[in-house]
Structure formats: C-alpha cells, structure tokens
Structure 1
Amino acid sequence: MDPEFSIIIPSYNRASTIGRAIDSVIGQTYTSWEIIVVDDGSTDNTREIILSFPHLRTFVQKNLGVSVARNNGASLALGNWLIFLDSDDELLEESLELFFNSIQADSSVDVWVSGFELVKNHKIQLKIPEIGKYHPRLAGAFSIRKTLFYQTEGYDAKLKFSENTELFHRINLIQAKEGFIPKATVKYFDNLNGGSKDLQNIIDSISYILEKHDDTLSTHVKFLYHQIIGVILMRLKIYNNARSHLYAALKIKPYKFSTLIRLGISWIPILSKKIYKEEINL
C-alpha cells in the first residue's frame, strides 16, 4: 500500500544536520509515510550518512539548487500528500498526525498550512497562522496534495529565495483551497547569515518574482518588494540602484514617510553605512 505522505528532504553539504532531519520523520506518531532524500551534489559525507539509514529512497543530482531538488523528489513520490523538509530542520513528533487528522476532517482542502517553531539566537518563537493575516509558507509547515503540486508545475527552478512564497502565489491564482492548522509542525532553524551572498540571492529572487508576476501581484506586495530590494542594495552600497527601487515604491505609495526617509538616507553614504550594515542577522 502506498504511503499517505511523501517527505522530501533536499540536502547540500548538510552532513552535520541531515541525520536529525531524517530522525524527526522516523519518530512520527503517524506512520504512513516515505522519506525521499535528494542529494544536491554534496561534496561532504552527506551521502554516506543518508545511506546509513534503512528504508530511505534517495536521488542524487548535480548541484542544481533546492527548487530542482524538491521537484525531482516530488516526481518520485508515492504518497497522496507532499511535505518538503529542509535538511537542517525537524518535524515535530505529532506533525504528520496533525496533517492527517486535518485531511480527514475536510477532504475539500488542497493544501494545509501550519505553524512553526522559529529557532533563532538560541530562542524559540512560536508562529501560528491566522486567517486574514500574513504567515510565511515554510518547508515543513505545509502539506500539499500531490495532484495540486503537479498542476502548478512545482517549484520555479530559477529561485534560490522565496520559492515557497512564489509557489503559493501560483496556488492562489488557481484558487486552490487552503486550510489552516493552529499548531506548529516543524522546528525551523534560521541559519541565514545575512552576508552578501544571501543578500544578492534575495535581490535576484524578488526581482525575478516582480517581473514574472507583474500582472498578478498586488500593489502592496510590489511596494514591499521594492522597499526590500532598496534597503538591501543600500546594505551592499549600490546606491543608484537602491534609489531606483525606492522611487518605484514611492510611485505606488507616494506619501509613505518611511520610504522618503530611506530615500534621503541613500543620498548620504556615511549615514547609510552606519544604519544599513552589509552583514546582518536575517
């Protein structure tokens, strides 16, 4: 009999954490699942650790990124429902049971969104979804019907950041039904270091989303994205481009005082360097 859930874990050079991610699935109170680990061309001993676990399904690819890895894992899935888990995070013990009970309670829902425990600076914050309020879509904090994932054509392979946000934008465009679970299902470890590589990935990904979904993004989201890019570019000391995005934000919301302040700061590099440091804790 095929499993109810396929847990897809992409991994790139995560030998130090992949074991506990796998263990967090093995220890679930609900047991109808399979684990598919996609090794994204690791150069450490990730593969050796993966092979030490029995009953795993594995896929090895060259280093193509997390979105391609998740799509490849999904193409192998036998379960009716997909859960994507990052290789440095952990499912909480009753996660699959929570998802399964929700699925049984309402068969019309296509994707279930849950809360998460955010682990940052050695502190844990509980983040629970509320209807009508923004809630991040994180790997491990949603379960999507496999047929819906295929219908949306999966993750966009060009994205290295905000790939879940972009996926859910397309899910919303086809009006798939979302359900919300007011409990956490994953322990999410915030490991972004805020260095220039992370910041550039954010710029590239958000810029791509702005271009790809220009006709369907709300003006508020466009405003936020231009603000985010503008601030990041100031952190990277690329002031002309920063001003272009801040001006774009102002065109959307002309009387937003915070944007005017940021625009003014962009003309004073000495002040900008003090306020917007390149290395930040994301």
Structure 2
Amino acid sequence: MRVSVVVPNYNKERTLRDCLSAVYAQTAPPAEVIVVDDASTDRSRQIAADFPCTVLAFPVNRGVSAARNAGAGRATGEVLFFVDSDIALAPGALAAAVGTLEAYPDCGVVQGIYDLRPLYDDGPVEAYKTLFEHFWRRRATGLTTTTMFALTAVPRAVFEQVGGFDERLRDAEDVEFGTRLPQRYTIRVSDEMVGRHDDVDRLRPYLSELFRRAVTYAGAVVATRWERPAAGSGGRSGDPSDGPGRTPHRVDLGSVVGMVSSGLTVGTAPLVLLSPWLAALPVALVGAAVVADRELLAFALRHRGPRFLLYAAGLRWLTHLTEFVGMGLGVSGALLRRARAAGSRQVTVESRR
C-alpha cells in the first residue's frame, strides 16, 4: 500500500523539524509527505522547505479540519496517514499502520498511542497530560469506538466515503468524523503505532483547550444521540448500503461519574455554612471522583511516585470540573438551537395553513 503522510501545521516551529525527521526515518518510507501550513506566522514554512515534502500554504487560518482535508485532497496514496506536527513518530509507526489495515480488511480507521515520555519535558502539567493520554489510549488497544486523529491511518476510499472532516469544527472534529463512519468499518488502536507528543504545558491553556473541546463535543457529538434518522435512510454518509448510522462512541461511566461528582462538589460545598455535618457530602463526592479514576491514579503512582500522585489527583479533579461546565454549556446550547429550529418549523407550518 502506498502511504501519503499528511501533516497539518500551525505555528509549530519548535516541533515541526522533529516531526518531519521522524516521518522520513520510518522503516517503511511514505510515498509522499504533504505539509499543510495553516497560515503560520513563525518559521514553519522555512523548516518544511528543508525536507523533500509538498507544502500547501493557506493564506488565512482555516483550522485543522480544513488543513487535513486539503492534504487528503492532494494525496495520491491508497492510505492517508495523518500526524500532527507536534508529534515525532517511532520508526515503525507507518509499517504498523499498513500491517493492521492489511490484517483487518474491515478496518476503516487505525490510530496509534502516545509514548509515556513527552517529546519535550516542560513541567508537571505536560507530564500529567502525557501520562493520561498514554494510559487512556493504551487501555483502548484493539477494537474501539472513538476516532482520534493525532496519529491515525485511514484508507483513502474510506476517508472519501465519509466525506472528510467538518470544516466548521476546530475542536472535536476527529470524534465527529467517527460518527459518520459506516457501521461496516471497525476502528482499531495499535500500540505499535507510537509517537512522542509535545503537549500543552501550562494550566490555563490546558483548561481552555479542555473547555472548548467539551463545548464542541457536546454540540457536535452528544446532540447527535437525539437525532433520529429518517425511515429507510442509510448511514450518515448518505449511502443506504451502509446500514444504520454509527452511534456516537459509548459513554465512559468513570468519566461521567468524575465530571458529575466534581460539579456537585462545588455545588454542595456551601452547605457547610449551614451545618458542619453537611461537609460529609462534598467529601463523599470527592471520594467518588477518586474511585472513578482509581486505575489512572494507580498508574500515576507506579510511574511517577506518591508526590506526583497527589498532583495528578488534584489536576484530574480540576479537569473533570472544567469538562462538566463545558459539557453543560454545550448541551444547553444544542438544546436551545434544537428548540429554536422546532419553533421555526412550527411557524412555517402554521403560515402555510
């Protein structure tokens, strides 16, 4: 299989050279490498020019969905391998992707995992984020239901059938892509496809990223659970032969418990002012969040020690709280838009009478 590597990039001069060097050092070299520069203002384009890759340069910033679509549109390979420009692949990543697609003909998406070590170690926030991403992705090895496109391979025919990424989305676009993947295709995670990621390393940007993704995810993915396909219709790709549309990925009960517990902890904390005995309620809720994350926290303890465990537990609770607020706002917004749309349809019907 000929593999086209697509690298979306925006202001990643720090990591782009590492990313491209790793791509060209693969044990199974790609047929072509396409860098889509999304109107960077740093030295990204000069760095890409040092490599024998094709560079597509956007005059204005359009977002990662548009960048990936543009790269896929230019590619000629049978397999599209998407890798973000802040990731350095392990040497066998491309070979592992092709091997998985050949071993499982029904596989529509195969995605890799992050190394436990970040590309650059920039402090505890990044250490936590990298550890969490490694744990979560490795645990999903094998068949899964969620699509994540940081380092992911897709047969070109499947990508075209799905219709690419929704260019209106700048967050959660990869998860939304999976909701349009026909049911007959499987999604797999391979722990042989590994990349070292230079992740967010400051608290405010980390929480802002979480919040944006939660709001977008709630509106673009959670809300689809309320949509009922028309009778006799096919999948979300529009082809009746696809069968029923793919249900958005299953709910992670532990994450739901963690988010709800964190949100209710804040909501019930003022009850302590009424009676000291009521402090037991927020304490119990914190305990519920810890129990929900016990596997992750045990993993943090094994790999980073007890001091980091305390830090990870606190940051995990703050993560849940941020996602709780973002999801709440996202779902509320989706419900409001749905109500407005229903009202508009009702007005239209009445005006025709």
Match of 2:208 in 1: 197
Deviation digits for residues 215-239 of structure 1 (CA, Å, limit 9, x no counterpart): 37569639889878xx5xxxxxxxx
Match of 1:10 in 2: 8
Aligned length: 246
Measure how far apart 1:107 and its partner are: 3.6
* Bigger mean CA offset, 110-119 vs 65-74: 110-119
Give the Cα–Cα distance (whole angstroms) in 1 for the partners of residues 100 and 81 of structure 2. 14
Measure how far apart 1:156 and its partner are: 1.7
Measure how far apart 1:186 and its partner are: 2.1
Match of 2:156 in 1: 146
Distance 1:268 1:184, change over 3 A: same
Mapped contact 1:192–1:281 kept (Cα < 8 A): no
Give the Cα–Cα distance (whole angstroms) in 1 for the partners of residues 94 and 20 of structure 2. 14
Distance 1:269 1:147, change over 3 A: farther
Match of 1:234 in 2: none
Distance 1:121 1:97, change over 3 A: same
Q: SS in structure 1 opposite 2:154?
A: strand
**What does 1:181-220 correspond to in 2, within 5 Å?**
181-191=190-200, 193-195=202-204, 197-209=208-220, 210-215=222-227, 217=247
Measure how far apart 1:187 and its partner are: 2.2
Identity of matched residues, % = 23
Mapped contact 1:111–1:145 kept (Cα < 8 A): yes
Give the Cα–Cα distance (whole angstroms) in 2 for the partners of residues 219 and 17 of structure 1. 31
**What does 1:72-87 correspond to in 2, within 5 Å?**
72-87=70-85
Give the Cα–Cα distance (whole angstroms) in 1 for the partners of residues 110 and 219 of structure 2. 27
Greater strand percent: which structure?
1
Match of 1:102 in 2: 100
Q: In the alignment, is residue 175 of structure 1 matched against residue 173 of structure 2?
A: no
Mapped contact 1:9–1:86 kept (Cα < 8 A): yes
Give the Cα–Cα distance (whole angstroms) in 2 for the partners of residues 281 and 44 of structure 1. 31
Match of 1:60 in 2: 57
Give the Cα–Cα distance (whole angstroms) in 1 for the partners of residues 213 and 101 of structure 2. 34
Deviation digits for residues 156-208 of structure 1 (CA, Å, limit 9, x no counterpart): 2232322222212222x433133453423322333264425324412331232
Match of 1:221 in 2: 251
Greater helix percent: which structure?
2
Amino acid of the residue matched to residue 153 of structure 1? G
Give the Cα–Cα distance (whole angstroms) in 1 for the partners of residues 257 and 201 of structure 2. 20
Distance 1:104 1:134, change over 3 A: closer
Larger radius of gyration: 2
Q: In the alignment, is residue 130 of structure 1 matched against residue 141 of structure 2?
A: yes
Give the Cα–Cα distance (whole angstroms) in 2 for the partners of residues 25 and 201 of structure 1. 30
Gaps of 5+ in 2: 119-125, 228-245, 273-281, 283-313, 324-353
Q: SS in structure 2 opposite 1:74?
A: helix
Mapped contact 1:192–1:198 kept (Cα < 8 A): no
Amino acid of the residue matched to residue 53 of structure 2? L
Mapped contact 1:4–1:79 kept (Cα < 8 A): yes
* Bigger mean CA offset, 90-99 vs 152-161: 152-161
Amino acid of the residue matched to residue 173 of structure 2? E
Deviation digits for residues 5-59 of structure 1 (CA, Å, limit 9, x no counterpart): 1111111111111111111100011124211000101111111111122x21111
* Bigger mean CA offset, 126-135 vs 107-116: 126-135
Q: SS in structure 2 opposite 1:110?
A: strand
Mapped contact 2:107–2:188 kept (Cα < 8 A): yes
Deviation digits for residues 129-148 of structure 1 (CA, Å, limit 9, x no counterpart): 434667773421x3110111
**What does 1:41-56 correspond to in 2, within 5 Å?**
41-53=39-51, 55-56=52-53
Deviation digits for residues 90-140 of structure 1 (CA, Å, limit 9, x no counterpart): 111011121223333344433223333143429765643434667773421
Measure how far apart 1:72 and its partner are: 0.8
Match of 1:161 in 2: 171
Q: SS in structure 2 opposite 1:221?
A: coil
Give the Cα–Cα distance (whole angstroms) in 2 for the partners of residues 188 and 121 of structure 1. 11
Gaps of 5+ in 1: 232-245, 247-257
Mapped contact 2:141–2:190 kept (Cα < 8 A): no
Mapped contact 2:146–2:187 kept (Cα < 8 A): no
Give the Cα–Cα distance (whole angstroms) in 2 for the partners of residues 103 and 197 of structure 1. 35
2:91 to 90, 93, 108: 93
Give the Cα–Cα distance (whole angstroms) in 1 for the partners of residues 249 and 195 of structure 2. 32
* Bigger mean CA offset, 74-83 vs 97-106: 97-106
